[in-house]
Amino acid sequence: MTAPATILGIARGGASAFLRALAVPALARALRARADGLTATVVELAARAAIRGAVATLGRLPKGSPARAYTIRGLDGSPYLDRVVLPRVLGHRVVLHRIRRADAEPWLHDHPWRTARFLILSGGYDEERMTPCGYDEERMTPCGRHSRRARVARSLRRGDVNRIDLGELHRITRVLPGTCTVGLLGERCAAWGFLVDDRDLVPAPIYFARVGYASQGGDP
C-alpha cells in the first residue's frame, strides 16, 4: 500500500486503523533505529513519504472529514511546517509534522494544549526552553517573572520524545534535514502566544497582526 493510500485509510478508518497502520509500527521502528542504521533510513523515508502524500491526498477529502492537512508558511512565504491532523486516539489529537526549518521569530512561544508529546521519527532539532515561575489556571496564562528564568538549550534526535506541557515555552533554533514527528495532543484549554522580550506573553493573533502575518491552517 502506498503512503497516500495508507493515510487516506487512516483518515477514514479512525483511531484503531491509525494504531494498526502507523503509530505502533512507527514507534517500534523509531526505537530500533537507535541501533540499526538501515532501519533508521527506512523510518526517515517512510515518515517523509507519508507526510508528503497526506498533504497532497487529504486536501481531496470531503468537507467534515476527521482528518486534514496543510502547510504553514512564514512571512517570506517559505514553507515552515507540514501538518497532518488525524482522528483522535483515546481522547488525544494525533498530528504528523514535517518540520522544514527553525522558528523565524526570536521569541519563545507556548502551546495551547494541557499536554503534548512529540516522538521524533527522523532527523531532529535543537531548541531553547523556559518554564515560567507559575501558571494562572483561571486565566490560562503563564504568570510570574519570566525574565528571571534563563533559556535552556537542548538537542533532540530520532527516537527522543519532546514533552511540552501547559505553560512551558520553547523555540526551535536548528532543524536537521528530513525531520518528522508524530504527536499526541491533550485537551486544548488555552490561547497561545509569544514571550516578547522574554517578559510579556503576547497572544498569537495580536503578535501576528503586529508583524503583518496571516496565520494559515489553524490549530488542531
For residue 203, what is the domain's CATH number? 2.60.120.10
In a domain, 220, yes or no: no
Exposed e or buried b for every residue in 44-72, given b needs 16+ CB within 10 A? bebbbbbbbbbbebbeeeeeeeebbbbee
In a domain, 219, yes or no: no
In a domain, 96, yes or no: yes
Half-sphere exposure of 113 (CA within 13 A, CB side): 18
In a domain, 217, yes or no: no
Closest CA to 122 of 20, 28, 46: 46
In a domain, 205, yes or no: yes
CA angle centred on 118, ends 116 and 122, rounded to 5°: 170
CA angle centred on 56, ends 54 and 60, rounded to 5°: 100
Alpha carbon distance 132, 147 (integer Å): 9
70, three cell numbers: 496543510
Alpha carbon distance 164, 53 (integer Å): 27
In a domain, 218, yes or no: no
Specify the pLDDT at position 67. Answer: 75
Which domain does 23 fall in, by range?
3-211
Specify the pLDDT at position 210. Answer: 87
In a domain, 54, yes or no: yes
In a domain, 155, yes or no: yes
Helix (H) or strand (E) holding 95: strand 92-99
Domains contained in the chain, number? 1
Specify the pLDDT at position 154. Answer: 94
**Ordered per-residue pLDDT tens for the chain, 220 residues:** 444 444 444 444 444 444 444 454 555 555 555 545 545 555 555 666 666 665 555 555 555 566 788 888 887 788 899 888 888 878 888 899 999 999 999 999 999 999 999 999 889 999 999 876 544 444 445 554 444 467 889 999 998 999 998 888 999 999 999 899 989 999 888 888 999 988 888 898 898 888 877 655 556 6
Q: List C-alpha distances in Å: 63 to 16, 17, 60, 77.
A: 22, 20, 9, 26
